[in-house]
A = this chain, B = another copy of it.
Amino acid sequence: MNIYDIAKIAGVSIATVSRVVNDSPRVSEKTKRRVRAVMEEYQYTPNVFARGLGLDSMKTIGIICPDVADSYMAAAVAFLERRLREYGYDCILYSSSHQQEKKEQAIELILKKRIDALVLVGSTYAGNGSDDDSTGYIKRAAEKIPVFLINGHLEGKNIYSVYSRDYQATFDVTSKLIESGRKQILFLTDSRSYSARKKLEGYEAALKSHGLPVRGELKVYTKNQVHYVRDILLSRRDLEFDSVLATDDGLAVGAVKYAHARRKKMPEELSVIGYNNSELSVCCEPELTTIDNTGEKLCNITIDNMMKLLGGQKDIPKEVPVDCCLVKRCTTDF
């Protein structure tokens, strides 16, 4: 069943059928009804390829994230997908891992699909802070289609960034920790991404502004796996710390497990603060105080901006920062 068949049956030309399919105003209601009836009866579905060929667009948005299995990413992807569908867009999904080469490859592949826009979820796409060409591939992609970063930030033509104020969040919470009497705050992270760097900067700035030294050994990089983190911490018998600020809830839960193993009371002997307000934060014992970086909000703003842009609007903000909020639970005394 193609457009010719329908045209023949309905006794009109293919142009008219096409107009009906696209709901053009230049067709009489009567004709529209007749054609629609035929399409209905014969279960006609326009061929998306042919359509794409003509329009050079398939109403699909590309989404790339390092790993959909990560709960934060998964939530974002789920949310994006749902909202995009409301607007009649499809999603094609790529996982790129964090490796530079794979990330470049993912973008190259996805661009071939003639997507209408590209969404990059996660600050891993905002470069690693070095001044090599680690983000060049994104800028090149932006020459072809608009690129939207979620929780990352990159300057460039046709690149739009929505990110959370991680610097401010860690600055504030580190300050609270210090003001409640903590002096040895362990910074626990698994990443050197844009957002991880901002978190670190906020942490360090807070230490400095309270006259505390920034000690290298109190920054620990580890894999994001509960038991792995616990064991790393247990093995570092030299390290003394009275609180932990983690860049992800998984890491923070590792710290909680460490505290159990060492029989340290929380929050008295060890304060722990997680990040992302994920399901994990409410599973451990005691439950985690965590920073909610409001992924949903970031996604919403991104989608809104994208739809405006694809709709032809021009005044889209190049970057919009969003405040985090602290979810107080039981691993801190504030």
Contact = CB atoms under 8 A, between A and B. Distances in A.
A265 interface: no
A234 interface: no
B78 A69 contact: yes
A94 B91 CA distance: 8
Interface centre among A46, A69, A73, A78 (most CB of B within 10 A): A69
Given A90-B92, A226-B283, 16 more contacts: A45-B111, A49-B49, A53-B53, A67-B78, A68-B74, A68-B81, A69-B74, A81-B95, A82-B95, A85-B94, A85-B109, A90-B113, A253-B283, A280-B283, A283-B284, A285-B285
Contacts of A85: 94, 109
A77 interface: yes
A60 B47 CA distance: 15
Interface string A43-68: 00111111011001010100000011
Interface string A246-259: 00001001000000
Contacts of A73: 74
Nearest to A92: B92
A71 interface: yes
B112 A60 contact: no
A69 B121 CA distance: 14
Nearest to A113: B48
Contacts of A91: 92-94
A239 B101 CA distance: 56
B282 A279 contact: no
A260 interface: yes
Interface string A292-311: 00000000000000000000
Contact of A47 (B53, B253, B282): B53
A175 B225 CA distance: 32
A36 interface: no
B49 A114 contact: yes
B53 A50 contact: yes
Contacts of A92: 60, 90-93
Given A53-B50, A226-B279, A284-B284, A95 B78 contact: yes
A75 interface: yes
Contacts of A50: 49, 53
Given A114-B49, A282-B227, A71 B74 contact: yes
Given A49-B56, A53-B50, A285 B284 contact: yes
Contacts of A113: 48, 90
A277 B160 CA distance: 38
A243 to B, nearest CB: 20
What 5 A-B pairs are tightest by C-beta distance, nearest first? A74-B74, A49-B52, A285-B285, A69-B78, A283-B283
